[in-house]
Amino acid sequence: DPAPDSEALRERAAAALITARDRTTLLTGCVDEPELTAQHSPLMSPLVWDLAHIGNQEEQWLLRAVAGQEAIRPEIDSVYDAFEHPRAERPRLPLLPPEEARRYASDVRGRALDVLEGTAFHGERLTEAGFAFGMIAQHEQQHDETMLITHQLRKGPQALTAPDPDPVPLFTGPSEVLVPGGPFTMGTSDEPWALDNERPAHRREVAPFHIDTTPVTNAAYQAFIEDGGYDDPRWWTAQGWAHIRRNSVTAPLFWQRDGTPGAGRWLRRRFGVTEAVPPDEPVLHVCWYEADAYARWAGRRLPTEAEWEKAARHDPAGGRSARYPWGDAEPGPLHANLGQRHLRPAPAGSYPAGESPLGVRQLIGDVWEWTSSDFLPYPGFRAFPYKEYSEVFFGPGYKVLRGGSFAVDAVACRGTFRNWDHPVRRQIFSGFRTARSESV
């Protein structure tokens, strides 16, 4: 290691871990103990499970795998194994009570920072460029996003606050841009903290297509609702139609019609507050079936995952793939709405400094964007460091989401980052944009 690089990496890793822990502390410190152990939705774990699971993963990877230490409390590994216990069961497990969970996570953290001081960042794949530390910071941030979803599902008064994004003038640019056809580099082999499913970099041929300049807004989505979109099987796949009928899905999750006679408005509940649905904001809390149906109604389709990544990373001038739509610079507050800085997406057309070379906005941050693609390995994929991060999820049961939401931290969000979920899921911070093939 040339020393300065090593020192910079050490600082970056420590900062990423500390940023994540500050957020975990906020999310688990703003409600009282009974709320930490309660299950707010069968879709989610009690917050106190996430807290100790965060510590347990850190112990397994940084203390045991990297530093070869003995288990602190081997008996709890199984309690915090996400594969042994589905979320619905977790409240009945012998969970560490809140104070113990906090102490455990902070004990692990103290030791992990000591390990960081003494680790060389080369030689071993797990520690190459600080990978294991970056992976654990990303893991904690991913659970922080999960805990924020739990907060959104939780009934009861507001527990979290954040300033709103700055207002922007109504976006008046083109509604779509043409992405030229041809190959581009998808995925990465040199982003040091990229996870296994983002690797390796490979050439992808993509036919020319048009993609929305901004995510689909609440106003646009409302037009689909008012046009009877949820009552017309033409727009839905057979599975989607069966799903929305069986579950009486008639609007995005957390929406309700304003009961005032003649109001004709929609309200939504957001982190304990009921408010009018803001027309210019990207639509949030829709499942894949809803995104897919809206696109068909609009005479369009969801972008494939490759199309999404080409729109986000390809620079037609330079011909190479950048790390982000705006280039290779780390995300700053002018680029994207990330990191729970706000508790909502920013209006469509925000963040001009974050646009792609072709002028596509808000690809990073605001809302996770559903793509039409199943979650599958790239050619040459190798599971690392464990099969249960990605490999066991590959297949038709999961659709890929891209770009990150306001609730994801920059450390867990890149032009190559891949998220996935079941097509019925909508408690997640999910929205979408649409595309169409270039007609010849």
**What is the binding site for ligand AVJ (CB under 6 A)?**
139, 142-143, 146, 389, 419-420
114 is an annotated ligand-binding site residue: no
> Cβ 99 to ligand AVJ, closest distance in Å?
24
CA distance from start to end of the chain: 53
Which position's Cβ is nearest ligand AVJ?
A: 142
> Cβ 174 to ligand AVJ, closest distance in Å?
33
Is the CB of 139 or the CB of 243 nearer to ligand AVJ? 139
Distance CA 16, CA 25 (A): 14
125 is an annotated ligand-binding site residue: no
For residue 99, give both structure tokens: 């104070």
311 is an annotated ligand-binding site residue: no
Distance CA 405, CA 362 (A): 10
Is the CB of 34 or the CB of 83 nearer to ligand AVJ? 83
> Cβ 142 to ligand AVJ, closest distance in Å?
4
Distance CA 421, CA 433 (A): 17
> Cβ 57 to ligand AVJ, closest distance in Å?
7
Polymer length in residues for the chain: 440
Q: Which of 197, 101, 165, 85 is nearest to 339 (CA)?
A: 165
> Cβ 234 to ligand AVJ, closest distance in Å?
32
122 is an annotated ligand-binding site residue: no
> Cβ 109 to ligand AVJ, closest distance in Å?
17
As a dihedral over the C-alpha atoms of residue 91, residue 97, residue 103, residue 108, rounded to 10 degrees, the angle is -30
In this structure, which amino acid lies at residue 314? H
Is the CB of 127 or the CB of 146 nearer to ligand AVJ? 146
Residue 49, Cβ density class (10 Å: 0-12 exposed, 13-18 middle, ≥19 buried)? buried
Is the CB of 361 or the CB of 399 nearer to ligand AVJ? 399
Is the CB of 241 or the CB of 386 nearer to ligand AVJ? 386
Is 19 within 8 Å of 35 (Cβ atoms)? no
Cβ neighbours around 79 below 10 Å, total: 18
Is the CB of 143 or the CB of 313 nearer to ligand AVJ? 143
421 is an annotated ligand-binding site residue: yes
Token pair 């992990």 is at which residue?
112
Distance CA 306, CA 184 (A): 9
341 is an annotated ligand-binding site residue: no
> Cβ 197 to ligand AVJ, closest distance in Å?
9
In this structure, which amino acid lies at residue 116? L
Q: Which of 216, 217, 219, 208 is nearest to 177 (CA)?
A: 208
Question: Using N-to-C axis directions, what is the helix angle for 98-118 and 131-153, rounded to 10°?
Answer: 160
Is the CB of 203 or the CB of 422 nearer to ligand AVJ? 422
Is the CB of 372 or the CB of 419 nearer to ligand AVJ? 419
Cβ neighbours around 356 below 10 Å, total: 26
111 is an annotated ligand-binding site residue: no
88 is an annotated ligand-binding site residue: yes
Q: Which of 309, 324, 106 is nearest to 203 (CA)?
A: 309
243 is an annotated ligand-binding site residue: no
> Cβ 419 to ligand AVJ, closest distance in Å?
5
Is the CB of 142 or the CB of 340 nearer to ligand AVJ? 142
Report angle CA 286, 301, 209 to the nearest 5 degrees.
Answer: 130
Alpha-carbon distances, residue 283 vs 31, 176, 191, 268, 347 (angstroms): 28, 17, 31, 11, 10
> Cβ 420 to ligand AVJ, closest distance in Å?
6
Which residues make up each annotated binding site for Fe cation?
A: 53, 139, 143
Which residues make up each annotated binding site?
A: 53, 87-90, 139, 143, 421, 425
Which residues make up each annotated binding site for gamma-L-glutamyl-L-cysteine?
A: 87-90, 421, 425
